[in-house]
């Protein structure tokens, strides 16, 4: 059986899925797995498509220290227990820079170019690229495809992508890129199936997770996003502050004597919900806490989602549907309710029962604005792009 491996590498975890290449509809998920707590308490867990547990193995301290170790652990298990014929691997790459507007087959030149974007996504890019190096060493003949979170937003007009900086900075690639594009691409396709009329119009999708952003769509195309040059901008996140006055960074360097590395660590790892609450970056923990700081962090988060929604409505010139997705958006009924309350001026009326039950449509029948909850599937989009690219390659051969 021909299969495609999809790899989504984070800072301390490695997610992977195995898809069978079938005649119709083309792809079928066989296995979902991940390696968690890399470097601390590593654990490999995987389930089959029918949710049957295939493996749940914890490793001793020091056995899985980094992403290459995690790849070897997952790869060894797959090779020894799953009789698949692996024909390609697809990877989520957070930053494609100005050079890549769509999926690309990876070679040394492409890899070197992607390495040069590490400073634009220091939390993500090095980890996204590490599995590629490991697989190239293990299977140099295996086609590998890079799929970019920035690519979906290449439909933006120049007026949305430019900063008010001298022209040469824009030409050098200092521009607003937007992220979470693979998630938005999947959700826009699902919305077209669920509500074709709304999908043709003006839609805001809120990707609310540890990383958080919102995207404004017209007929399924991205026209504006809350994230920009890096994944620091826009909404407050788990450990990132979101929009911040650049003068704060200048103050930290000039007046507090912080180095660029210290500022980077602060902005990527110590801010957001974690910084505001002083407790956790996890919404589930904050919602369970009685600490006033936890409550403030949650209110702050919802306020800024509402605030940025207003910005995106202005860019769209109106709104025909609002969609929640990703970890918080899909699982926190409480946060959905907080945010929906801030959308009442747009005609949003939340159905409390549907929201509590986790229904796909959570707005009332008399709501002028339909509100959906659509689970995202970035891995499926990566698999589709990978299959398409290797099929093109086969045809050209």
- Residue 124's Cβ-count burial label (10 Å; 0-12, 13-18, 19+) is buried
The C-alpha atoms of residue 25 and residue 16 are separated, in whole angstroms, by: 21
Q: Please, where are the H alpha helices in the chain?
A: 67-81, 108-115, 125-138, 158-161, 167-171, 181-194, 196-200, 246-254, 260-269, 272-277, 283-288, 292-316, 326-331, 333-341, 352-356, 378-396
> Nearest-CA neighbor of 237 among 225, 227, 252?
227
Query: Which residues are identified as catalytic?
Result: 149
Contact 118, 125 (CB under 8 A): yes
Mapping DSSP to helix (H, G, I), strand (E, B) and coil, where does residue 241 land?
coil
CA nearest neighbour of 143 among 391, 396, 397, 390: 390
Positive or negative torsion for Cα 75, 78, 84, 90? negative
d(CA 22, CA 281): 40
């Amino acid at each position: 059986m021909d299969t495609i491996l999809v790899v989504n590498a984070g800072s301390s975890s490695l997610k992977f899925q195995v898809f069978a290449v079938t005649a119709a509809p083309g792809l079928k998920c066989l296995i979902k797995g991940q390696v968690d707590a890399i470097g601390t308490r590593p654990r490999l867990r995987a389930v089959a498509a029918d949710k049957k547990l295939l493996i749940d193995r914890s490793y001793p301290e020091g056995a899985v220290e980094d992403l290459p170790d995690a790849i070897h652990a997952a790869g060894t298990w797959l090779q020894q227990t799953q009789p698949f014929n692996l024909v390609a691997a697809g990877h989520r790459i957070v930053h494609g820079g100005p050079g890549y507007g769509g999926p690309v087959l990876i070679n040394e030149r492409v890899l070197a170019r992607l390495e040069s974007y590490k400073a634009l996504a220091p939390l993500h890019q090095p980890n996204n690229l590490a599995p590629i190096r490991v697989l190239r060493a293990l299977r140099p003949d295996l086609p590998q495809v890079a799929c970019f979170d920035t690519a979906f937003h290449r439909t933006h007009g120049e007026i949305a992508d430019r900063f008010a900086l001298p022209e040469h900075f824009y030409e050098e690639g200092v521009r607003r890129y937007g992220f979470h594009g693979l998630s938005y691409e999947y959700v826009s396709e699902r919305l077209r199936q669920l509500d074709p009329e709304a999908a043709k119009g003006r839609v805001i999708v809120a990707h609310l997770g540890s990383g958080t952003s919102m995207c404004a769509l017209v007929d399924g195309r991205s026209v504006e996003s809350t994230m920009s040059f890096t994944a620091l901008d826009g909404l407050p996140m788990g450990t990132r502050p979101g929009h911040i006055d650049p003068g704060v960074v200048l103050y930290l360097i000039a007046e507090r004597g912080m180095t660029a590395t210290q500022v980077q660590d602060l902005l990527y790892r110590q801010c957001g919900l974690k910084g505001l609450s002083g407790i956790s970056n996890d919404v589930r923990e904050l919602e369970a806490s009685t600490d006033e700081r936890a409550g403030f962090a949650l209110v702050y988060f919802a306020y800024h989602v509402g605030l940025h929604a207003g910005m995106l409505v202005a860019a769209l010139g109106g709104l025909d549907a609002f969609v929640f997705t990703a970890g918080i958006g899909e699982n926190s009924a409480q946060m959905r309710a907080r945010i929906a309350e801030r959308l009442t001026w747009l005609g949003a009326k939340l159905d409390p029962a549907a929201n509590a039950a986790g229904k796909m449509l959570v707005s009332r029948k008399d709501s002028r604005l339909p509100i959906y909850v659509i689970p995202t599937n970035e891995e499926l989009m990566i698999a589709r792009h990978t299959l398409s690219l290797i099929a093109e390659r086969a045809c050209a051969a």
